[in-house]
Amino acid sequence: MTLYLKQFYESPMGLLSIVVSEEGLVELDFYDPKEEAPDPYGALEQVHPYHEKVKEWLDHYFAGDPITISFPLAPQGTAFQERVWQLLREIPYGETKTYGQLAQDLSCGSAQAVGQAVGRNPLTILVPCHRVMGKDGQLMGYASGLDRKRWLLHHEGITWKEK
């Protein structure tokens, strides 16, 4: 049975939940204690060395000085989702791609299928789904809300078109 451990990080955009296992970072997501959604991992609030590495990465990111990821990633998804998430990691800081471009890169005929996988990304910010735009660079959905997506894009110096 896998043991999951959780810690929190106060970001400029709100509280982030960091869930790790021995395999690596499992989830990085915005956390609202008022929502009180059940924890699918049953994570215990204990410190693991990966938490400190994730927090260090976040400190650098929010300071505008992104660093290389120095900890393993262990998101849980389908093979297709994991392919999409890997492709998201290849979008450089300060740049974007469209859902259509990602679908083409994956030799997938459906930008919608790519969009669904992007929307299920469990590693927000770190696996930069906020860098994915609609056709012609239009701002499209973000699981954590469009205001957060705008903030992240602005933070990285990215311009966009409003829908």
pLDDT of 136: 84
Tokens describing residue 41: 């991992």
* Contacts with 150 (C-beta within 8 Å, 6 or more apart), sequence order: 139, 160
- Examine the residue annotation and report whether 129 is marked as an active-site residue of this protein: yes
Averaged pLDDT in 10-residue chunks for the chain of 163 residues:
94 96 96 76 90 98 94 96 96 95 92 94 97 90 92 95 80
Q: Give all domains of the chain, ordered by start, each with its CATH number.
A: 4-63 (3.30.160), 79-156 (1.10.10.10)
pLDDT of 109: 84
**Helix ranges, 2-155 (H):** 49-62, 79-89, 99-105, 111-119, 146-155
Q: Which residues pair with 20 in a beta bridge?
A: 5, 25
Q: Which residues pair with 30 in a beta bridge?
A: 16
Annotated active-site residue in 20, 118, 129, 153: 129
Taking alpha carbons only, the member of 71, 97, 72, 95 closest to residue 84 is 97
pLDDT of 139: 92
Taking alpha carbons only, the member of 53, 63, 59, 23 closest to residue 41 is 23
